[in-house]
Homo-oligomer: A and B are copies of this chain.
């Protein structure tokens, strides 16, 4: 994992559909070399996948909510997580340090659907209580933090 790998990750996080030829031009290597590097990053689990980012409102998921869950410890936490995974509306799930054990981010079409889901969650085995907050808007999400600052083609030769 050197500077060129980091640059490739940056490029693919910004645009996952770049061709290997284009990536090669950007980092100053040949296409096969880039192909091999990216393959290794995939196999090593550094790159976990490539996903289209779809506007939620466009696909009728205009309501975003955050639900914090207090764990009823008579049920194993892994079983609870597994049960929650069964709800497709739950986009993300974090295991927290603190009073509430889990934070869920979920998206649904309507407030009515949210109500239905929160009630169902509250009845799920292992859930002691829930605390729900509506997200009025998403300012941004999944913003990638750049790993490398300089393009590799320039500045050959170590720091001054």
Residues of A whose CB lies within 8 Å of any CB of B are 1, 6, 9, 12-17, 44-55, 58-59, 61, 64, 66, 81, 85, 88-98, 102-103, 107, 133-147
Q: Which residues of B contact A143 (CB under 8 A)?
A: 88, 90-92
Q: Report yes or no: B135 in contact with A94, Cβ–Cβ below 8 A.
A: yes
Return chain B residues, CB-CB under 8 Å to A135: 94-97, 103
**What is the oligomeric copy number?**
2
Q: Is there contact, CB below 8 Å, between A95 and B146?
A: no
Contact B50 A46 (CB under 8 A): no
Q: Are B9 and A59 touching (Cβ within 8 A)?
A: yes
Task: Given A9-B52, A140-B92, decide whether A145 and B47 contact each other with a Cβ distance below 8 A.
Answer: no
Chain B residue with minimal CB distance to A106?
B145
